[in-house]
């Protein structure tokens, strides 16, 4: 029987454990947190047709997912700082016919993780096991003093600052040059009805001056707000004010976006605590490691990206799907020496998929945060980049021509 350790009980790690369980392959998930409710699990996620949603289906969790999926959350408005709309998409009802090639129903990250966690057998997850290192003999050394060993495969699903990755590579994530303020608006239907209407149960992404102010609806009706801009990596220590103070944050943002639309500025004016500052880190596009027997990676541990294409969790769930297929194939073949070869097959497939995802993410970031006059100047490139990601290469010139022509005409009137 194969003995598998999964480091990290995030969406990717839990999805892998679930997919293996579906095929009667046991695994142990080691998680640093004390329990599933130990900390906030972040905002809302949109799951995509070929990656996140496909993994949900193969994990036999589609019916459960439908209880929480918000198809009206597919509503999207992309605008500039003057609230000029450059891209708009309507939401839909769960039973409404798909209107686009790419589905993108929303689900809160905490709800997704809870759904995955509850699909696992009791005892599958060991809480309070924060990995310290992986030894050469594949022993797992944890900060609680425990040492676990005897695994045929160790899968690092332990995030951007993965300790498992250190066993395979010296590469660490690099600062993108962009920092983020995160905040929330509670009970927006009553406290901020105009903003609630603007968001339309989905998402608003406003870009201008190489900055972004985003607002998205959560499952409980609250709104998450994110503000991105260019700052030094040590900004939180050198900015001259308490980075976690609500009043100081609002005063800072008023200066940052002083000439933006009042309707957009009202978004952060209505936001309250808790607020959080974070830096955006990423591994180099196309990062890969030299294969070592017995250890591999999924999710952010393998390819942490900036959030500007919205596909991070989709990548993690897809990694889990790709890896599980190779492990299941090995278990069915019953060849003792076959597992390592199949892990290499997984890694090669994952490297290619996530290289394309990394190029999409970095390209999107460059379009909106490193291009003068964006989104107006680069909206066609941005939209073509995302559309081309869904179609074969031979169709890209046609798609790009259509999109660039559309925006050329639009700009004649705006």
Same domain, 391 and 349: no
Give percent above pLDDT 90 in the chain. Answer: 91
Find the CATH number of the domain harbouring 208: 3.30.9.30
Domain boundary among 239, 259, 281: 281
Q: Residue 222: which of 47, 44, 65 has the closest Cα?
A: 44
pLDDT for the residue numbered 110: 92
What is the count of structural domains for the chain? 3
Question: Which residue range forms the structural domain that includes residue 407?
Answer: 378-411
pLDDT band at 93 (very low <50, low <70, confident <90, very high): confident
Q: Which residues of 159-182 are buried (b: 16+ CB within 10 A; e: fewer)?
A: bbebbbbebbeeeebeebbbbbbb
- Judge whether 135 lies within some domain: yes
Average pLDDT over residues 379-406: 96
- Judge whether 96 lies within some domain: no
Same domain, 289 and 160: yes
Q: Residue 29: which of 122, 110, 112, 111 has the closest Cα?
A: 122
Same domain, 140 and 46: yes
Same domain, 229 and 203: yes
pLDDT band at 74 (very low <50, low <70, confident <90, very high): very high
Same domain, 46 and 165: yes
pLDDT > 70? residue 97: no
pLDDT > 80? residue 42: no
- Judge whether 293 lies within some domain: yes
Same domain, 250 and 231: yes
Q: State which H helix or E strand residue 119 sits in.
A: none
List beta partners, residue 279: 179
Of the listed ranges 22-36, 51-65, 236-250, 328-342, the least confidently predicted one is 328-342
Q: Residue 12: which of 354, 410, 245 has the closest Cα?
A: 354
* pTM to 2 decimal places: 0.95
Domain boundary among 254, 281, 308: 281
pLDDT for the residue numbered 39: 60
pLDDT > 70? residue 308: yes
pLDDT > 70? residue 12: yes
Same domain, 157 and 191: no
Same domain, 184 and 140: no
- Judge whether 271 lies within some domain: yes
Same domain, 161 and 291: yes
- Judge whether 336 lies within some domain: yes
Average pLDDT over residues 148-172: 97
Q: Which residue has the higher pLDDT, 15 or 40?
A: 15
Average pLDDT over residues 338-366: 96
Same domain, 19 and 122: yes
Same domain, 231 and 200: yes
- Judge whether 147 lies within some domain: yes
- Judge whether 89 lies within some domain: no
- Judge whether 160 lies within some domain: yes
CA distances 213 to 207, 339, 380, Å, are: 7, 46, 20
pLDDT > 80? residue 141: yes
Average pLDDT over residues 12-17: 98
Same domain, 330 and 224: no
pLDDT for the residue numbered 379: 97
State the Cα–Cα distance between residues 104 and 269, nearest whole angstrom.
29
Find the CATH number of the domain harbouring 329: 3.50.50.60
pLDDT for the residue numbered 103: 85
Instruction: State both tokens at 6.
Output: 């999964």
Mean pLDDT for all residues in the chain: 94
Domain boundary among 281, 306, 340: 281
């Amino acid at each position: 029987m194969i003995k598998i350790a999964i480091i990290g009980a995030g969406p990717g790690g839990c999805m892998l454990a679930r997919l293996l369980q579906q095929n009667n392959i046991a695994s142990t998930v080691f998680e640093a947190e004390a329990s599933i409710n130990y900390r906030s699990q972040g905002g809302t996620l949109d799951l995509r047709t070929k990656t996140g949603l496909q993994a949900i289906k193969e994990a036999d969790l589609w019916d459960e997912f439908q209880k929480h999926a918000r198809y009206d959350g597919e509503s999207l408005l992309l605008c500039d700082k003057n609230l000029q709309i450059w891209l708009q998409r309507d939401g839909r009802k769960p039973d409404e016919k798909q209107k686009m090639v790419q589905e993108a129903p929303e689900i809160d990250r905490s709800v997704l993780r809870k759904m995955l966690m509850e699909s696992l057998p009791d005892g599958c997850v060991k809480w309070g096991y924060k990995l310290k290192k992986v030894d050469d003999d594949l022993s797992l050394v944890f900060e609680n003093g425990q040492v676990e060993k005897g695994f045929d495969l160790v899968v690092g699903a332990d995030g951007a600052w993965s300790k498992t990755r250190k066993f395979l590579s010296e590469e660490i994530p690099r600062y993108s040059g962009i920092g983020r303020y995160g905040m929330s608006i509670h009970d927006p239907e009553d406290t901020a009805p105009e903003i609630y209407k603007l968001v339309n149960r989905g998402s608003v992404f406003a870009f201008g001056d190489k900055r972004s102010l985003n607002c998205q609806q959560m499952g409980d009706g609250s709104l998450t707000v994110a503000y991105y801009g260019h700052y030094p990596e040590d900004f939180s220590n050198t900015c001259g004010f308490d980075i976690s103070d609500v009043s100081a944050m609002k005063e800072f943002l008023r200066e940052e976006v002083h000439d933006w639309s009042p309707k957009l500025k009202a978004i952060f004016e209505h936001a309250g605590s808790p607020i959080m500052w974070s830096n955006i880190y990423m591994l180099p596009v196309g990062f890969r490691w030299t294969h070592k027997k017995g250890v591999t990676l999924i999710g952010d541990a393998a390819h942490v990206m900036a959030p500007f294409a919205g596909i991070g969790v989709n990548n993690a769930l897809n990694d889990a799907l790709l890896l599980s297929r190779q492990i299941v194939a090995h278990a069915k073949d019953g060849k003792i020496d076959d597992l390592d070869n199949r892990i290499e097959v997984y890694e090669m497939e994952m490297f290619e998929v996530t290289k394309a995802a990394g190029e999409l993410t970095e390209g999107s970031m460059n379009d909106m945060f490193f291009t003068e006059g964006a989104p107006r100047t680069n909206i066609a490139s941005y939209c073509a980049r995302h559309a081309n990601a869904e179609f074969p290469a031979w169709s890209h010139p046609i798609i790009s021509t259509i999109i660039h022509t559309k925006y050329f005409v639009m700009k004649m009137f705006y």
